[in-house]
Structure 1
Amino acid sequence: MPAIVGAVQVMNIGSSGVFHIGDVFQLTPISTAKTFAGAGSFNTGETLAIQNYQSATNTFDNDGIDQGINFNV
């Protein structure tokens, strides 16, 4: 269902970001990334009390390809 959108101000879009307003049939990525992070790595805030006594991040990936983006143009 169409919508009426007021003023939109976009400050920044990354190199593989998507900016979308309105109806859309399909959004497809044109780049991929794999991120490995341990416990508590992406916590944000002013006062955090994080207690990770033993943490290990398994970065072993036995398959060569996770998900392709071959036909995204």
Structure 2
Amino acid sequence: MPAVVGIVNVNSIGSSSVFNVGDVYQISPYTMNKTFAGAGSFNTAEQLYVYNHRSNTNTYDRDVVDQPNSFNV
């Protein structure tokens, strides 16, 4: 089904981003990364109180590849 799109204003787009307007069958990422963060790292609020008495982040990963990206090229 055709899509009717009005005015689109794009200020910036990242190097590994996907920008689509209209119909699309499949969008697949070309890059991947792994993010490690401790307890309370990604919390956002106006007033936030996070108490982590003993917090550590385990970054040891035995497997070499978690999710292959070989078919997205």
With normalisation by structure 2, the TM-score equals: 0.82
Q: Could you tell me how far apart the structure 2 residues matched to 1:6 and 1:51 are?
A: 47
Letter in 2 for 1:64: V
Greater fraction of residues in helix? 2
Note the residue ranges of structure 1 that are not aligned, 5 or more in a row.
Answer: none
Runs of 4+ in 1 over 6 A off after TM superposition: none
RMSD: 1.5
User: What does the per-residue CA deviation read over 1:15-68, in whole Å, with 9 as the maximum and x for residues that have no partner?
Assistant: 111112222111111111100001111122332122222222111110011112
Percent of residue pairs identical: 59
Any residues of structure 2 matched to 1:14-53 within 5 Å, and which?
A: 14-53=14-53
* Unaligned ranges ≥5, structure 2: none
- TM-score by structure 1 length? 0.82
Number of residue pairs matched by the alignment: 73
Give the letter aligned to residue 47 of structure 2.
T
